[in-house]
Structure 1
Amino acid sequence: MKIPEILGEVRALVTPAMEESLSRLSPEIRRVIDYHMGWRDAEGRPVQRRGSKSVRPALAFLSAKAGGGEVKDAVPGALAVEFLNNWAFLIDDVMDGDRFRRQRETAWVVFGQGQAICAGTALLTLAQQVLLESPSADRLAALSLTMDTSARMLAGQTLDMTFEQRFDYSVDESMTMTQSKTASLMRCATSIGAILVGADDTVVDALADFGQSVGVAFQARDDMLGIWGTPDQTGGRPRGFDVKARKGTLPMAVALNDAIHGEELRKIFGQEGELAVPDVERATQLIDAAGGRQWTEDLARRMVERANTALARLTLEDDVRGHLGELAAMGLPDDVSR
């Protein structure tokens, strides 16, 4: 996947601001977060790692520009969405038992579950603090948005966890989980900058619709990578990781509800213990044969198209429109191997 150049520029801008905000945290919590962010190793030594792509901070900055403001006005919003994003990563990794992220061991594996949960909770709190300290007259509206977003993300995560206990969930339920757990944060990122600069509701609403659609596209692509992606695309996770973990993703939901292949797939997932390699391979074949891959790919493309339609409602500078379009295109699953 081609990474838009703007992400490198945003990372150079937002990382120092993040480090300054994080300096108020205790050394013990900061150590876990610095490791999770890819800035330091487990012993606290600086390392050269890619870390976060900074997609959501970039969207927050572009949101401010789209709303008639400046990038500097959106810094608190950019920090808030990045803190929310990494709060979710830290907590999800513990809940899901994921052992690798960004091509190294997850924070809970290195520091323990309790430390990772504390670090994630600290980020959630910090997301609220940076907005309360913002000079924007609309900071409370931005804070309300982030609190609503975190509640939606928690609802989505809770629903996701129920899928681990049953295999009768519908495609609609899986879509609800996607809308809540992933797309709500993208919606927040694409509208919070405009809120902070006092943009009209029509602008905020169009940007929110853009972000919601982009969020679904991103999750659909991630769901495909979780089954058919290579380790270099998935941060070190093996091919078929989501199948082995029986994750309730969109392709899985489509296949489980297929009249021809669903019953066999449910039997495989209903086995006790960890799935063997042949079972993972067979389940992957069934998901593909049931149309799970094609349905999810079509969804991602449709959502990117819908996002661009939302952008068409706005009068934007060419560079802002171009950057938003580039970031939306990251949801296209062209690079997921077959």
Structure 2
Amino acid sequence: MVSPDAVDRARPVRDVVAWSRGLVEPALREAVDALPAPLRLVAGYHRGWWDERGHRTDAAGGKAIRPALALLAAEAVGGTAGAAVPAAAAVELVHDFTLLHDDVLDGDRTRRHRAAAWHVFGLDAAVLTGDALLAAAFDVLAASGHPAALTGVRVLNAAVRDLVEGEHADLAFERQPDVGVAECVAMVERKTGGLLAGACALGASFGGAEAVVVAGLRDFGLRLGVAYQHVDDLLGIWGEPGRTGKPVHADLRARKKSLPVVAALTSDTPAGRELAALYRKHPIPSDARRAADPAEPDRLDPAADAARAADLVERAGGRAWSERQAESLLAASLRHLGSVDPVPRAAAELTALAHAIVRRDH
């Protein structure tokens, strides 16, 4: 339980995120500047620093959630945010690696309210830039000189393995006729939960925490990551394009087996069975590059089918289930945070950030 005094001294979430971005941005720019020029152009475009010609822009560059978690985790265990900057920067570089690759794999044409990097620069450039950012992440950790650098490399490597395994499962689900809720949750724990867990564990390690405390903060990040994905999946169906930066019903058009969709498909309700029939209606492209081809039509078409699918997910209980799960996982994550006896102000700010992440009010 966070004390009222700590809450009073805690900064608003928007200030915490801005503080995090300010601390980590120089390290990110240094890492990107070290890339070969063609890849540097793609990376900077992806981050919103410049347009496709390299001209400076004010485009959104992401919310800096993962770096904020790493920095606050360091403070929560009695360390300093400054010492954890390499950890925070490395996590954000890995996150950008995943986004560049995800957009290619899913064929998403927009990211952060503008054209995705692959759509501007081509598939090869986007994939190779993602690879370069992944390498840069490990270089940032290794070059930090921090006593926890070697441990950090292993923690981050485990997170990357988890998210790659989770991404593979997510893609395989598109062709798998039956996916259970437990399977889907396990996929999300690796794909999304793994990196948030890694961010918190890295921050705690760079803050000087003992292994048991690092494990507690890792569990905090893991539950928070799964809660985050529930909300992200809900927004992927019902989110407003102006808020999400993606077309309405984007996940349903791609026939993603997201958490609320799988809950609906396995509900054994009339709506769930109708949804299953609708999901079987159109063939899946057999090649990931065809899926990312601008000429490739939506996989669930016409738009009326996607709207019908959204209604069926809700009627089958998928929407309500994901909403309940998100709140339950948020509560569980905060229990793990409290179990490590965190520094009060950092705990208050982590608590507020967790609520904002799940409820998307930041």
Q: Deviations over 1:116-152 (max 9, x none)?
A: 0000000110111111112112211110011111110
Q: Give 1:73 shift.
A: 0.9
Aligned pair 1:151/2:177, yes or no?
A: no
Of residues 286, 302, 321, the one that matches 1:295 is 321
Q: Give 1:163 shift.
A: 1.4
Mapped contact 1:157–1:181 kept (Cα < 8 A): yes
Give the alignment's Cα RMSD to 1 decimal: 1.4
TM-score in terms of structure 2 length: 0.89
Q: Which residue of 2 aligns with 1:317?
A: 343
Code of the residue aligned with 2:331 in structure 1: it is E
| Greater Cα shift, 88-97 or 253-262 | 253-262
Q: Which residue of 2 aligns with 1:230?
A: 240
Aligned pair 1:121/2:147, yes or no?
A: no
Mapped contact 2:86–2:141 kept (Cα < 8 A): yes
Mapped contact 1:152–1:184 kept (Cα < 8 A): yes
Code of the residue aligned with 1:257 in structure 2: it is T
Q: Aligned runs of 1:248-267 on 2, under 5 Å? A: 248-260=257-269, 261-267=271-277
Q: Give 1:271 shift.
A: 1.5
Mapped contact 1:243–1:283 kept (Cα < 8 A): yes
Q: Aligned runs of 1:165-180 on 2, under 5 Å? A: 165-180=175-190
Mapped contact 1:4–1:327 kept (Cα < 8 A): no
1:312 partner SS: helix
Q: Distance in 2 between matches of 1:97 and 1:63?
A: 34
Change over 3 Å in CA distance of 1:156–1:274 after alignment to 2: same
Mapped contact 2:76–2:344 kept (Cα < 8 A): no
Q: Deviations over 1:225-267 (max 9, x none)?
A: 00010011211x2221111111110001011112122221111
Mapped contact 1:10–1:58 kept (Cα < 8 A): yes
Q: Which runs of 5+ in 1 are unaligned?
A: none
Q: Distance in 1 between matches of 2:336 and 2:206?
A: 20
Q: Which residue of 2 aligns with 1:103?
A: 113
Q: Give 1:4 shift.
A: 2.9
Q: Which runs of 5+ in 2 are unaligned?
A: 1-11, 283-298
Which structure's relative contact order is higher, taking Cα pairs within 8 Å and 6+ residues apart? Answer: 2
Q: Deviations over 1:181-232 (max 9, x none)?
A: 0000000011102112331122111111110011011111000000010011
Q: Which residue of 2 aligns with 1:243?
A: 252
Q: Give 1:3 shift.
A: 5.3
Mapped contact 1:67–1:200 kept (Cα < 8 A): no
Q: Aligned residue pairs: how many? A: 333
Moved over 6 A (4+): none
Q: Which residue of 2 aligns with 1:130?
A: 140
Change over 3 Å in CA distance of 1:334–1:20 after alignment to 2: closer
Aligned pair 1:14/2:24, yes or no?
A: yes
| Greater Cα shift, 105-114 or 56-65 | 56-65
Q: Distance in 1 between matches of 2:160 and 2:358?
A: 26
Q: Which residue of 2 aligns with 1:212?
A: 222
Q: Aligned runs of 1:183-194 on 2, under 5 Å? A: 183-194=193-204
2:155 partner SS: helix
